[in-house]
Amino acid sequence: LVQHAPGLSIDRIVVDPQSVAHGDALDAAASQLGATVDLLPVASSTPGIHDVAALASAYDKILTSERVA
């Protein structure tokens, strides 16, 4: 993404913890965009689909707090 949009700046990236295999690599990639990673459960039981309520909850946490982790 950095190669295709070098001027792009992102503040936060939401990632479901179950989808992360290499957290250090994810953090490094995010930092290249100026972003931090928020590990929050957003996956549904159907592969490739977000749980709408969980995603809404994740957005609420991000928009109403400093840093989730």
Domain boundary assignment for the chain: 12-64
Q: Please report the pLDDT score of residue 57 as a whole number.
A: 96
1 CB burial (10 A radius; 0-12, 13-18, 19+): exposed
Q: Provide the 10 A C-beta neighbour count for residue 64.
A: 7
Q: Please report the pLDDT score of residue 27 as a whole number.
A: 93
User: Do residues 8 and 2 lie in contact, with contact meaning Cβ atoms separated by under 8 Å?
Assistant: yes
Q: Please report the pLDDT score of residue 65 as a whole number.
A: 81
Q: Which residues of the chain have pLDDT under 50?
A: none
